Structure 1
Amino acid sequence: MAEISMKNVSKRWGRVEGVKDFDLEIADREFLVLLGPSGCGKTTTMRMIAGLEDVTEGQIVIGGRVVNDLEPKDRDIAMVFQSYGLYPNLSVYENIRFPLKVRKIPAAEHDERVRRAAEMVDLTALLDRRPAELSGGQRQRVALARAIVREPTVFLMDEPLSNLDAKLRVSTRAQIKNLQHRLKTTTIYVTHDQIEAMTLADRVVVMSGGIIQQVGTPTQIYDNPANTFVASFIGSPAMNLVSGRIAGGVFEAENIRVAGLPTGHDGPVTLGFRAEDVTLTPQAAEISAPVYALELLGDASMVALRVGEDLVNIKAAKDYRAQIGDSVHVTLPAGVCHLFDAETGARLTPDA
C-alpha cells in the first residue's frame, strides 16, 4: 500500500516560503496531478516527497512510514524528470537496467524485468540502440521504462512531456495514463499544462504562491472553481471573468445584463462563464457588444468581445463568420454563471 499523507508541510529558505501548510491525503494507486504556474511550489512539493528537499515544517508519511529523515534511496520511489537523464554511452537495455544494478537486485532477475518494462512502453525493438539514435519521444519512454523496472511503490513525474512536440505530447500522455492504469502504482505528476492535468488526473491540486487553491476531480475543478485564480487557469479558453455590480439578483456592467442570479451578494462582484455555455443569437440578449477578434479553430470559431473592461470569448460554430466591429448578441443564462467576490476572488455561488 502506498498512501501518502502530507500534514501541514512547509518549505522555507530564509524569508522565502516556497510551500505553505500543504495538507493532503493521497490514496493508494491514485493518479494525482500538482498543477500551477512556474514558481507556485509544485516541484518543491514533489522534491520534498522524494527527499531531494528537506521539510521545514510538517510531516510526510508514505505507506504508513514517516519519511522526513529518510534518504531518497530508502523511500521506494522512482522519478521521471523533464530532462531524460540517460547515459549516452549505454544502450537502451543498459539504461533501463541501471537502477537494478545500483540497488543490487539479483542479476538473474535483470533480463526479465528489463524486457517486461521495455515491452510496456514499446521499446523492445530498440534495446540495442544508444540514446543519440532515438527521437525525443523514444528517449522519454526509456526514462519511463527505467522508472518502471524499479517496481516502486510511488512514481513521481516532474513535467515529463515538456520537451516533446504537440503531437508526441498527446501520444505519450495516453501512454502514461494507460501505464498507470496497468501498473496500479500511486503516481504524483507535476505540470503547468492544464490539459495534461485534466486528461491524466484522478484528482488535481491547483497551486499558487505555494498554497493549495483547490483539490478535486478534473470535473469538479472545471465546473465549480473555488476562486478566480482556478477559474482563469483551468479551461481552454479559460473561464470568462467580467467585473461589475449585482443588486437584487441582477448583474450589470457595460454591454452586459444578467437577471435571475442568486440574491444576497449585492455590490461589486466578478461574474464568470464558459465560452461553450453561451450562444450567439440574432435577437437582443444578455450581452450585446462589438466583435473584437475572430479566430478560426477548425472545429469551432472563437469570437472575442469587449464586455465592460474585459475581453470574453464565445465559442461559435466552425462556419460562423463576422467582421471586427460588428455588433453581436449573446444569450447568457443565469444557470451557467458563477459569482466571485470582487476583492478576494473567492467563489460566492454554491457548487452545481
Structure 2
Amino acid sequence: MAGIQLKNVSKRWGNFVGVDNFDLTIADREFLVLLGPSGCGKTTTMRMIAGLEDVTEGQIIIGDRVVNGLEPKDRDIAMVFQSYGLYPNMNVYENIRFPLKVRKVDPATHDDRVMRAADMVELRDFLHRKPAELSGGQRQRVALARAIVREPNVFLMDEPLSNLDAKLRVSTRAQIKNLQHELQVTTIYVTHDQIEAMTLADRVVVMKHGVIQQVGTPTQIYDRPANTFVAGFIGSPAMNLMEGHLQGGVFTGDHVRISGLPGPDGPITLGFRAEDASVARTDGETEITAPVYTMELLGDATMITVKARGSMVSVKAGKEYRIEIDETVGLHIPAAICHLFHHETGVRLDP
C-alpha cells in the first residue's frame, strides 16, 4: 500500500496555468475526492499522478518513490475512466483478465484473480457476455473489476459515474464505497458532483482555477466552508449567500435584519443553509419577510424560495407545508446558524 505526496505541483501550458502550486499529502488507504467545476484542474492533477501528463514544477511521491520520471505502467496504479474503455471483441472475462496478460502475471493465477474481482462487483453471471450486451452500469462494473484485478497500490477514478442514470449512480456509488472499504487501497476520485464527494470521501479537496480552496472531511467543509466559493458549491441546495451591512452585531439589508452576529462593522456577506432556517409566522419572530418566489415539493420537505435584496433565499419547511407564489412569508434565521464572509475576498470570518 502507499500514501501519496504532491509537493508544490504545477502544470502550465504556455501562459495558461492548469494547476497552481498543489501541495497535499494523501494518507495510505485514504479515499480522497478532488471536487470542483469543469476546468478547475482536478482531472489534470489526477493525470499527473498517473503519469499521463508531465509535471511542470514540483514532485509527486507514491510510497517512498519520486515518480515524476516514471512511465504510467511503472507507477503501480490502476485507473477507471468516465468512458469505460472496454475491448468490444472480448467478453467480460477477457476484459477483466487483460491487465494480467499485459503485465505477464503468472497465468496460473489468472482465473482465481478474475473470479475474485468479478465477485466483488457481482459480475460472475455475465463473464461470457460482450460489452455490447451489457447495460451502462454493468460496463462500469467491468471497468472497476479490471482495475481491482491488478491489485495496485493506488486507484485513480476519473468521474466514473457520469455516464450513468440517477438510480445507477446511487447503487454504483455505494458499491465503490464498499469496495474501497474492503480492498483498503489508496483511492483518488475526481468528480464535479458534490453529493458524490460528500458520500464517498474521507477527505475532500475543493478546487477552483487550479488552486486548492479547502481540504477537509465532508463534515468540516459542509459545516465551516473556507470561503464563499466553497459555501456556494457544497450543499443541495447551496448555501444562501446575501450581501449586506453589519453594524453593532446587526446585519441589515432589504427585507433582512439579523441580530446577535459577532463580526466587524461594515459591508459583509452572510450565509446560512436552507435546512438550518425555518418558516415562521409573519407576526412572530422573523429575520426575513418577503414574497414567495417559488415552492417546490421534494417529498421529504417543501422548499420555499423568496427574493430578498436581489438574492434568492431558500428555506426547507415540513413536507406538509403549502403556500402560494407571491404570498408573503416570514423566515426565522437565528444568528447561531449564520456564516460570515469578507465582502471582497469571500474568505470566512471566524467569530
Aligned residue for 1:279? 278
- Whether 1:325 aligns to 2:330 is no
- Given that residues 239 and 272 in structure 1 are in contact (C-alpha distance below 8 angstroms), is that contact kept between their aligned partners in structure 2? yes
Letter of the structure 1 residue corresponding to residue 326 of structure 2 = G
- Whether 1:347 aligns to 2:348 is yes
Aligned residue for 1:76? 76
- Whether 1:199 aligns to 2:196 is no
Distance 1:284 1:49 in 2: 54
Letter of the structure 2 residue corresponding to residue 288 of structure 1 = T
Which string of whole-angstrom CA distances, capped at 9 and with x for unpartnered residues, describes residues 42-94 of structure 1? 00000000000000000000001000000000000000000000000001000
Aligned residue for 1:270? 269
Distance 2:15 2:278 in 1: 49
Aligned-residue offset at 1:281? 1.0
Distance 2:7 2:157 in 1: 21
Aligned residue for 1:247? 247
Aligned residue for 1:232? 232
Which string of whole-angstrom CA distances, capped at 9 and with x for unpartnered residues, describes residues 164-184 of structure 1? 000000000000000000000
Distance 1:268 1:119 in 2: 58
- TM (norm. structure 1) is 0.98
Distance 2:101 2:285 in 1: 72
Letter of the structure 1 residue corresponding to residue 321 of structure 2 = Y
Aligned-residue offset at 1:349? 2.4
Which string of whole-angstrom CA distances, capped at 9 and with x for unpartnered residues, describes residues 142-179 of structure 1? 00000000000000000000000000000000000000
Q: What are the residue-to-residue correspondences of 1:167-182 with 2, within 5 Å?
A: 167-182=167-182
Distance 2:286 2:162 in 1: 43
Which SS does the other structure have where 1:262 is aligned?
A: coil
Aligned residue for 1:85? 85
- Given that residues 9 and 19 in structure 1 are in contact (C-alpha distance below 8 angstroms), is that contact kept between their aligned partners in structure 2? yes
Distance 1:349 1:28 in 2: 32
Distance 1:335 1:313 in 2: 18
Letter of the structure 2 residue corresponding to residue 111 of structure 1 = D
Aligned residue for 1:119? 119
* Unaligned ranges ≥5, structure 2: none
Which string of whole-angstrom CA distances, capped at 9 and with x for unpartnered residues, describes residues 253-309 of structure 1? 10110110013x111110000000011111241111110111111111100011111
Aligned residue for 1:160? 160
Question: Percent identical across equivalent pairs?
Answer: 74
Distance 2:206 2:213 in 1: 5
Which SS does the other structure have where 2:85 is aligned?
A: coil
Which SS does the other structure have where 1:221 is aligned?
A: helix
Distance 2:269 2:64 in 1: 43
Aligned residue for 1:214? 214
- Given that residues 243 and 309 in structure 1 are in contact (C-alpha distance below 8 angstroms), is that contact kept between their aligned partners in structure 2? no
- Given that residues 291 and 303 in structure 1 are in contact (C-alpha distance below 8 angstroms), is that contact kept between their aligned partners in structure 2? yes
* Unaligned ranges ≥5, structure 1: none
Note the aligned Cα RMSD (angstroms): 0.6
Residues matched between the structures, number: 349
- TM (norm. structure 2) is 0.99
Q: What are the residue-to-residue correspondences of 1:285-304 with 2, within 5 Å?
A: 285-304=286-305
Q: What are the residue-to-residue correspondences of 1:18-37 with 2, within 5 Å?
A: 18-37=18-37
Distance 2:74 2:296 in 1: 52
Which string of whole-angstrom CA distances, capped at 9 and with x for unpartnered residues, describes residues 13-44 of structure 1? 00000000000000000000000000000000
Which SS does the other structure have where 1:277 is aligned?
A: coil
Letter of the structure 2 residue corresponding to residue 232 of structure 1 = G
Letter of the structure 2 residue corresponding to residue 107 of structure 1 = P
Distance 1:201 1:111 in 2: 32
Which SS does the other structure have where 2:151 is aligned?
A: coil
Distance 1:80 1:347 in 2: 36
Runs of 4+ in 1 over 3 A off after TM superposition: none
Aligned residue for 2:50? 50
Distance 1:273 1:82 in 2: 34
Aligned residue for 1:66? 66
Which SS does the other structure have where 1:276 is aligned?
A: coil
Aligned residue for 2:99? 99
